Amino acid sequence: MTETRAETSAEDLVAEFDAERPARRLSGRTAALVTVAALALSLYALHQTFLPGAVLPYRMAFLAVVLPLAFVCYKARRGGRDEPGPFDWALAALSLAVCVYPIVVFDDLIRRAYAPTVLDVAAGALLTLLLFEACRRTVGWILPVVCAVFFAYAYYGGYLPADWALGHRGYDLDRIVAAFTMGTEGVYGVPLDVAATYIILFTIYGAVLDASGAGRFFVDVSFAAFRRSRSAPGRTVTLAGFLLGTVSGSGVATTVSVGSVAWPVLRRAGYPREQAGGVLAAAGIGAILSPPTLGAAAFIIAEYLRVSYLTVLVYATIPTVLYYLGVFLAIEMDARRYGTRAVPVDTGGPWPLIRRFGYHFSSLFVIIILMALGQSPFRAVVYATLLAFALSFLDRTPGGEHRLTPRRAVRALAAGATGVLPVAVTCAAAGTIVGVVTLTGLGLKAGSLIVGMSGGNLAATAVACALAVLLLGLAVPVTASFVIAAVIIGPALLNLGVTPAEAYMFIFYYAVLSEVSPPTALSAFAASAITGGNAQRTMWATWKYTLPAFLVPFAFVLTPSGTGLLAQGPIGEVLLAAAVSALAVAVLAAATGGWIIGPAGPVERGLCGLAAVLLLVLSPWPVLAGLGVAALALAVHFVRRHREAHP
- The CA distance from 85 to 76, in Å, is 10
Q: What three-state secondary structure class fits 599?
A: strand
Q: 47-51, long-range: CB within 8 Å, 24+ apart, which pairs?
A: 48/196, 48/197, 49/197, 49/201, 49/378, 49/379, 49/382, 50/379, 50/382
The length of the chain is 647
pLDDT category, 514, cuts 50, 70, 90?
Answer: confident
Buried (b) or exposed (e) across 518-552, using 16+ Cβ within 10 A?
eeebbbbbbbbbbbbbbbebbbebbbbbbbbbbbb
Beta-carbon contacts of 172 under 8 Å, excluding residues fewer than 6 positions away, are 155
According to DSSP, residue 198 is labeled: I
SS3 readout for 339-350: CCCCCCCCCCCH
Max avg pLDDT among 56-70, 135-149, 594-608: 56-70
Q: Which residues lie closer than 8 Å to 313 by C-beta, 6 or more apart?
A: 291, 292, 294, 298, 368, 371
* 127 band by pLDDT with thresholds 50, 70 and 90: very high
Higher pLDDT, 257 or 2: 257
Calpha distance 168→613 (Å, rounded): 42
Cis before residue 519, ω within 30 degrees of 0?
Answer: yes
DSSP per residue, 423-492: HHHHHHHHHHHHHHHHHHTHHHHHHHHHHHHTTT-HHHHHHHHHHHHHHHHHHS-HHHHHHHHHHHTHHH
Instruction: Please name which of 213, 263, 264, 222 lies closest in space to residue 243, comparing C-alpha atoms.
Output: 222
Residue 348 has pLDDT above 70, yes or no: no
Q: Which of 43-47, 113-117, 168-172, 287-291 has the lowest mean pLDDT?
A: 287-291
> What is the C-alpha separation between 374 and 108, in angstroms, rounded?
38
pLDDT above 70: percentage of residues in the chain: 93
How far from 542 is each of 261, 515, 538, 593, CA to CA, in Å?
19, 10, 6, 12
- Who's near 44: CB < 8 A, 6+ residues apart? 61, 62, 65
| Burial of 92: CB neighbours in 10 Å, binned 0-12, 13-18, 19+ | buried
Residues pairing with 595 in the sheet: 599
Residue pair 505/315 in contact (Cβ under 8 Å)? The answer is: yes
Read off the pLDDT band of 532 (50, 70, 90): confident
**515: enclosing H helix or E strand:** none
Maximum mean pLDDT: which of 4-13, 94-103, 439-448, 536-545: 94-103
Q: Are 56 and 188 in contact (CB under 8 A)?
A: yes
pLDDT of the residue at 504: 92
Would you tell me the crossing angle of helices 309-337 and 571-593 to the nearest 10 degrees? 30
First to last CA, the chain: 44
pTM value is 0.84
Contact 155, 171 (CB under 8 A): yes
| pLDDT digits 0-9 by tens, 361-394 | 898 889 889 988 888 888 999 999 999 999 999 8
What value, to the nearest 5°, has the Cα angle with vertex 536 and ends 535 and 542?
90
The 10s digit of each residue's pLDDT in 135-154 is 999 888 888 998 999 999 99
Has residue 296 got a pLDDT over 80?
Answer: no
Q: How far is residue 548 from each of residues 545, 573, 643, measured CA to CA in Å?
A: 8, 21, 32
pLDDT at 533 over 80: yes
125: CB partners within 8 A, 6+ apart: 173, 177
Angle at 139 between CA 136 and CA 145, to 5 degrees: 50
pLDDT band of 7, cuts 50, 70, 90: very low
